[in-house]
Amino acid sequence: MDRNANYVFKKLDDRWRCVIDNSYGAELLTKTNVPTLHMICGKIASGKSTLAHQLAEKPKTILISEDEWLSRLYPGEINTVNDYVRCAAKLRDVMGGHIEQLLRAGNSVVLDFPANTPDTRRWMRDIFKNADVAHCLHYLNVSDEECKMRLRRRNEDGSHRFTTSETEFDTITRYFVTPSIDEGFNVVEE
């Protein structure tokens, strides 16, 4: 059975609030078409890119994929976790202001960047705060076992821009921090 959710945002007490409504359909979205920064938190192979593409199907919504940008800007240069950290930091430094401009222009943006650490989420928070727009942090709560199964499958079929070993998965997952209520995000667990 397919389950679809419509995301409706309202600014209350100077904070954007995310309300999920599954009963009224898309009519609510047309009445409250608010520029929104969608962020996605989830381990490798948890379904972040799949969700990002689904979210980006909405009108006036732009998808920005970290993997796509990194693979085109640094072809063949990202071979280790340290390479990724170095290149991703450069990309974030350049992209923040551009994302703010897209949001201020009335677009919603889906960041297909891993919102997996407090530092990365702080960078994302600065973007939606500076642009003064709504936000939604989508949290994909998927077990390591399920992620590793998906990872093996995508490594075998070559469906992803980067190949990640289980050892690299374990190394990167050590840095994963589940979003906490103290961070102040509007979190939707998927």
pLDDT at residue 1, rounded to an integer: 43
Q: Which residues of 92-117 are buried (b: 16+ CB within 10 A; e: fewer)?
A: beebbeebbebbeeebbbbbbbbbbe
pLDDT digits (tens, 9 = 90+) for 14-65: 666 665 555 444 444 444 579 999 999 999 999 999 999 999 999 999 999 9
pLDDT digits (tens, 9 = 90+) for 158-188: 766 677 788 988 999 999 999 999 999 999 9
Give pTM, 2 decimals: 0.80
- Could you name the CATH architecture of 35-189? 3-Layer(aba) Sandwich (3.40)
- Cβ proximity of 45 and 144 under 8 Å: no
